[in-house]
């Protein structure tokens, strides 16, 4: 168990004067992070988000009247805005979640990925460099720029290869992973060249509340409930290493608190699963939690499974070796896959209004364009 989990949900005292700035906090992982941050600390959080199709303030509506959360609509590429936020709020840390995050979208149109993931991160680094240079000694020493990245930068693993460790070479295969890899390299270079106090985390596939239904797990739940085909790319035997989103958030908090400047930490769930097995699990849970009506044309949600054309350049397997973060920082995931996936299905069943609101016209255009 990590030290935070053992300290329970008591709000920490004495951190009122400090502030963190996070980017992309209206997205899936960012909004989970903000909600937990506000629940567990008293420290203000400035949330800079451009509200692209993936950003949704409804995720944060429980914080509407909470002065601990300050939302700023804006783009991480806007240098004067970022510089102004740093000067005004004087954060002790930045956590960079903002990104274009969907691999399939990066294949259809990589431009936004280059813009936000590479230029945006570069812009943040330049702003932080100028800001940190002016900080007094102790504040400079304690400042951290934490860059949230992905395991996809390491490329694809053979079936019997060991899981990705922090020393694996970078071999990104999609425009998305290449743009994230570029941003990781910039973060690394700013540490080595300018001494910027940075931390990088590379995490495996997340799942949980507030994930946009373009990603495998929420897409399958959404389609199943609508009795639509459940699209499996290729043979469905590609493997991902699944982590419940609040475990990713707790790992980021551990790295922010005790990670060593300049270090990289891999984060993963020790949950390697083939896509087809994930989809079977979801169908079986739905068969129990939302049984099909007696007059349905199918007898199980599994009957909706449809193999479709594979993703171009589809990585076969990802797996994370999380030994470093466990050994150095004492972090371990709290959820097993079985508990996490059940919570997730229950959350989507209880929040069909949220799903209905995000599956707007733009989303339907995407489904039409991508799945035909």
The catalytic site residues sit at: 151-152, 176
Tokens, residue 189 = 């270079």
State yes or no: residue 354 binds ligand NAD (CB under 6 A): no
State yes or no: residue 182 binds ligand NAD (CB under 6 A): no
Residues 6+ apart with CB under 8 A from 167: none
Give the distance from CA 249 to its chain's centroid: 9
Q: Is 123 or 223 the residue whose CB approaches ligand DAU more closely?
A: 223
d(CA 60, CA 354): 12
d(CA 110, CA 362): 18
Output the residue with the shortest Cβ distance to ligand DAU.
Answer: 150
State yes or no: residue 55 binds ligand NAD (CB under 6 A): yes
Span 209-268, contacts to ligand NAD by CB under 6 A: 212
Q: Is 300 or 332 the residue whose CB approaches ligand NAD more closely?
A: 332
Which of 257, 14, 37, 34 lies closest to 144 in space, CA to CA?
Answer: 257
d(CA 149, CA 110): 17
* Contacted by 72, from ligand NAD, ligand DAU, none: CB < 5 to 8 Å by type: none
User: Angle at CA 123, nearest 5°, toward 118 and 125?
Assistant: 95
Q: Is 172 or 301 the residue whose CB approaches ligand NAD more closely?
A: 172
Residues 6+ apart with CB under 8 A from 129: 190, 194, 196
Shortest CB 142 distance to ligand NAD, Å:
24
* Contacted by 231, from ligand DAU, ligand NAD, none: CB < 5 to 8 Å by type: ligand DAU
* Contacted by 77, from ligand DAU, ligand NAD, none: CB < 5 to 8 Å by type: ligand NAD
Residue numbers at the binding site for ligand NAD (CB under 6 A): 23-24, 26-30, 49-52, 54-55, 75-77, 97-99, 101, 116, 120, 148, 150, 180, 203, 205-206, 212
């Amino acid at each position: 168990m990590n030290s935070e989990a053992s300290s329970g949900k008591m709000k920490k005292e004495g951190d009122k004067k400090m502030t963190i700035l996070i980017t992309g906090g209206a997205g899936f992982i960012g909004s989970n992070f903000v909600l937990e941050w506000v629940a567990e600390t008293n420290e203000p959080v400035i949330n800079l988000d451009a509200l692209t199709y993936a950003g949704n303030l409804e995720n944060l509506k429980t914080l509407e009247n909470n002065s601990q959360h300050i939302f700023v609509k804006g783009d991480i590429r806007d240098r004067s805005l970022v510089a102004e936020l740093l000067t005004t709020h004087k954060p002790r840390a930045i956590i960079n979640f903002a990104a274009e995050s969907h691999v399939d979208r990066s294949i259809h149109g990589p431009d936004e990925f280059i813009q936000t993931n590479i230029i945006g991160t570069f812009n943040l680094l330049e702003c932080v460099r100028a800001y940190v240079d002016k900080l007094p000694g102790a504040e400079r020493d304690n400042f951290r720029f934490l860059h949230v990245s992905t395991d996809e930068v390491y490329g694809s693993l053979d079936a019997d290869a060991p899981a990705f460790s922090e020393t694996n070479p970078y071999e990104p295969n999609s425009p998305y992973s290449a743009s994230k890899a570029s941003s990781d390299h910039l973060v690394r270079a700013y540490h080595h060249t300018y001494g910027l106090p940075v931390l990088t985390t590379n995490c495996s596939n997340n799942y949980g509340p507030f994930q946009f239904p373009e990603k495998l797990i929420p897409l399958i739940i959404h389609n199943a409930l609508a009795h639509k085909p459940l699209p499996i790319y290729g043979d469905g035997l590609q493997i991902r290493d699944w982590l419940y989103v609040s475990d990713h958030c707790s790992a980021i908090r551990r790295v922010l608190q005790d990670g060593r400047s300049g270090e990289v930490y891999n984060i993963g769930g020790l949950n390697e699963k083939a896509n087809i097995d994930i989809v079977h699990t979801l169908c079986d849970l739905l068969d129990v939690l939302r049984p099909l009506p007696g007059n349905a044309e199918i007898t199980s949600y599994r009957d909706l499974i449809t193999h479709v054309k594979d993703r171009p350049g589809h990585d076969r397997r990802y797996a994370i070796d999380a030994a470093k973060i466990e050994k150095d920082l004492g972090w371990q995931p709290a959820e097993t896959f079985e508990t996490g996936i059940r919570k997730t299905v229950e959350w989507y069943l209880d929040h069909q209004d949220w799903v209905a609101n995000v599956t707007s016209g733009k989303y339907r255009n995407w489904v039409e364009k991508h799945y035909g």
